[in-house]
Structure 1
Amino acid sequence: GGVAGGLIGLACSMLPGPASIAPLPAGANADASAWSAAMLERGRQIAIAGDCAVCHTAPGGATNAGGFALETPFGTVWSTNITPDRETGIGAWTYEAFARAMRQGIARDGRHLYPAFPYTSFARMSDADMMSLYAWLMSQPAVKQAAPETKLPFPMNQRRLVAGWNWLFHDDAQYAPDPQRSALWNRGKYLVDGAGHCGACHTPRNALGAEKGGFAYLAGGSAEGWDAPSLVATHAGTNSKAGKSGAPVPWTEDALFAYLRTGFSPEHGVAAGPMAPVVAGLADLPESDVRAIAHYIASLSPPVEAAAAAHAAAARASGANADALTTLGFQNGQRMFEAACAVCHAASGGVGHFGVRPLMGLNTSVSHASPDNLLHVLMNGIDQPATEGLGYMPGFKDSFDDRQMAELAGYIRARYAPDEPAWRDLESASARVRAQTH
């Protein structure tokens, strides 16, 4: 595939590239008064579902003005300005230019966009939703700010090679509803595969950076140094993990809905890391859309009865016998946990005075094959909860060194995921996570 893509890209580089699309005439910027309030509201919701501001807003910067660093295996890609500024944003873009970028990954001037911009998902959107999104973006305040230029190493800096990548991996067809499925299921799949671009994080990628298909669909990926767990369980039951998702308790549709809507599921934990801003956006969407997403994702796994999931949660909540662990070399980790963590994560769990109190025995990051997500939370805490009711969690990276982090994480793993193998080389993993920017 890599050789074929390279040859196709090389051939494309010798042919005329995509044509530029003439800009809107000077002084003819799109006028918000030309669109109805309903259309603008629809566009606002699509922008939320697509997390536009999450990737197109630099830390502390103006909304959608670009400059956010997207780390990829091929180098850093900088997000662009999508405010209606004519010089540095999309203010001179016609709808035709906007739709081409969203569906084919080609900018107004004819340059190929890198697929770090998920046009592979946005292509699924309907024409009506695409126009609504364009209208809403063009109605927002213009911000004059040039984003840093993306400079990938050779040969990735040859944007024309993306034409070969598109030929191999991109299908720009709009979503076609499945007539054999319900309207709720189709709405959920449309949002998951389209504007929501869930696969961008939750589907593994091949060596050329394309999302894998088939059984790899939504089977787990990575985002900003975090592990994005699988959304598909291979099996479910009260006596086993929820398949390859790594969740200690099978996900029910209602648990998914609660997690996506509020950022917390008592049976699974709290949304953190890159998932927190996603949930913050979903909290502002119509409840029916969040329900549709939960319904579709739940349909990808074997059915789970609520009573069975509750029984599994109760069985997992208490964790291993803490007294037995004192003879296994976890004394230091246990002391740190009791001093820094137990006040909020004691066996009672539930909702406390400072927000929710997730039970460690039910936390997916504790049962995950990799310690990275737990280490991220232990170091950085949760200073921007997905929703107001979740509460704040302090980080301990300035209090504990890598050896202490390893002891704490090792204790949590042994105490609350006793049926999982111990994580190896935790001190090195802690040093690696500490060095990451996100």
Structure 2
Amino acid sequence: MNQAYWLHARLIKTLDLTALHSLLLLSVHHPSTLPYVRAAFVGHQPSLLRHSAAFPFNTLIRASAADPSDALTAFSLMRAAAVPPDLFTFPLLLKACSLLPFSSVDDPRRHPGVAAHALAVKHGLSADLYVANTLVRLYGGFALLDAALQVFVEMPLRDAVSWSALISSLASNGHDETALDAFRLMQACSPDAAPDEVTMITVIMAVANLGAPDLAAWVDRYVARRGFVLTAKMGTALISMHSRCGSMDRAARVFNRMRQRERGVRAWTAMIVGYAAHGRSAEALGAFDRMVGDAGLRPDHVALIGVLTACSRGGLLEEGWRVFRSMERTPGMEPRMEHYGCMVDMVGRGGRVREAYNFVEGMPVRPNAVIWRTLLGACVSHGDVALAEQVKRRLAEMEPGHDGDYVLLSNAYGWIGRWEEKDRVRCAMRVDGVAKRPGCSSLRV
């Protein structure tokens, strides 16, 4: 801060542009000095700024990027000083605009990012590679894919960043297959534009969302052929992809190929969650124990959910209680609502529904509807209709119109032959205006 005071005083006294530039560069790395820079722009030396180039304004926009309104104010000062923007202005301005909120009900033409695009066109800078790349990311982030594609198609020159921006925009908006098509076009149309790690992780997650094992195997081979290093991010993404595509054996091979120092909490968590999802409970518990014991890592809440889920699905009650009690004893690892839900599911699956009920009643936090509904499902599965009725009354107080609660209780009555109560529950659904929502599934062909 002392250096900022000195530079600001020197600027006021001497009108030295060097002091202004030094103060600007200082503000990029030390945001606390921004008030002095804004004071210099707004009040002290307007005549000095009128004879300045775009550099001071670009630097102020960059330093203010964390607060889009401040960045827009800096750009307004640039316009007021009649300083024309250059090739560096619009990428910085558009990145700031991408942080402003936007929803599908808003008029895109009223967003500052679209206005900045129009101004870039007016100044003949919209076709610049860096400006266009930023525009593709801007429109992709706002789910305006038609605009993003139009900018991309009109680009006279494209590099790896251009393709990465397009692929990311498509994948982040749920167009995973189209994102993969764009990745294939990238290799065919721009062979010199080699994908980087960020692009590959986007492609990997798109394949994971599709759940296609053939594509997963192809991407894995591509990563190996191109010589990508299995960093923590890349390796974890590949493990998650193979897990979601149905092959924990391939996920394990990726994990074993990773260097020891790259096997962080997220990589171990991906393995634990994957084993749990595939019903390989003993392997999930073993991975958790090696993570804590051999690797000496502190599990996060996701890893703990994974291992508790594995214990629940595998009927490993003693091991699940061991993990849960270790959480209670360890500072900073206090159980969350999700962990309590896993315990209720685990105890309920084991047929100890009364014990599960007492566990819910003794929770230090107020149980939510998901936990009560988990308990209701366990009561129905094990035929404890009396407790199911009690739990259903609790749920009716919290979420009175949930169709699943009616259906579960109705099924419980049907399984024990109490048909009148079953009909009564179904009639109550009609009277209360509750309709059963049909289930659905998807199949990739």
Q: TM-score, normalised by structure 1?
A: 0.23
Query: Relative contact order (alpha carbons < 8 A, sep ≥ 6): 1 or 2 greater?
Result: 1
Higher gyration radius (CA): 2
Q: TM-score, normalised by structure 2?
A: 0.22
User: Which structure dedicates a bigger proportion of its chain to helix?
Assistant: 2
User: Which structure dedicates a bigger proportion of its chain to strand?
Assistant: 1
